[in-house]
Amino acid sequence: MTAPIIEIQGLNAGYKDSPVLRDISLTVSAGEFTGILGPNGSGKTTLIRALSGVLPLTSGLVRIAGHDIRELSPKARAKHCATVAQKNPGLSGVRALSLVLMGRYPHVSFLGGYSDQDHRRAQEAMAETSSLHLQDRGSDTLSGGELQRVITAKALAQDTRLLLLDEAASNLDVARTLDLYELLRIRNASGLTILTVAHDLNLAALYCHRLVFLKNGSVAADGPTDEIFTSQTLSEIYETPLAVAAHPITGAPQAYLVPRA
Partner 1 sequence: MAAAVPLSIYAALFFGSYPLPAEAIHQAIASMLKGQAESQELVIVRDIRLGRILLSFLTGAALAVSGGVFQGLLRNPLADPFTLGISSGAACGAALSLGLGWTLAGFSTLPLAALGGAFAAMALVLTMSRLAGDFSRESLVLGGIVVSTFLGAAIALIKALNEESVAAIVFWIMGSFQGRGFEHVGLMLPYMLVGGTVVLLLARELDILGLGAEQAAQVGVAVGRARIGLLVGAGMLTAAAVSVSGIIGFVGLVVPHLVRMLIGPDSRPLLLFSALGGGILLLWSDVLARTILSHGAELPVGVVTALFGGPFFCLIMARGRRG
**Site residues (CB under 8 A) for partner 1?**
49, 52-54, 73-79, 82-83, 85, 88-89, 91-95, 98, 102-103, 105-106, 108, 110-111, 113, 154, 158
Query: Residue 101 CB, nearest distance to partner 1 (Å)?
Result: 9
Instruction: Give the shortest CB-136-to-partner 1 separation in angstroms.
Output: 11
Can you say whether the dihedral through the CA atoms of 35, 39, 40, 43 is positive or negative? Answer: negative
* H or E element, residue 193: strand 193-197
Shortest Cβ 227–partner 1 spacing (Å): 33
Q: Which amino acid is at 107?
A: H
CA dihedral 156, 200, 41, 90 (to 10 degrees): 40
What distance in Å separates the CA atoms of residue 165 and residue 73, rounded to the nearest whole number?
Answer: 21
Q: For residues 45 and 202, which CB has a smaller minimum distance to partner 1 in the complex?
A: 45
In the complex with partner 1, the residue whose CB is nearer, 156 or 219, is 156
Measured from the CB atom, is 70 or 75 closer to partner 1? Answer: 75
Burial track 133-148 (b if 16+ CB lie within 10 A, e otherwise): ebbebbbeebeebbbb
Could you count the other beta carbons within 10 Å of the beta carbon of residue 125? 24
CA distance linking residue 226 with residue 209, whole number of Å: 8
Q: Which is nearer to partner 1, 40 or 110 (CB)?
A: 110
Rounded CA separation 27/61 (Å): 12
Nearer to partner 1, 166 or 254 (CB): 166
Smallest gap from Cβ 248 to partner 1, in A, equals 39
Q: Is 115 helix (H, G, I), strand (E, B) or coil?
A: coil
* Least distance CB 64 / partner 1 (angstroms): 13
Q: Which C-beta is closer to partner 1: that of 44 or that of 210?
A: 44
Give the three-state DSSP class for 184: helix
| Three-state DSSP class for residue 11 | strand
Cα 181 to chain centroid distance, Å, stands at 11
| Residue placing its CB nearer to partner 1 in the complex, 40 or 92 | 92
In the complex, the smallest distance separating the C-beta of residue 224 from partner 1, rounded to whole angstroms, is 29
Shortest separation between residue 72's beta carbon and partner 1, angstroms: 10
CB 38 within 8 A of CB 214: yes
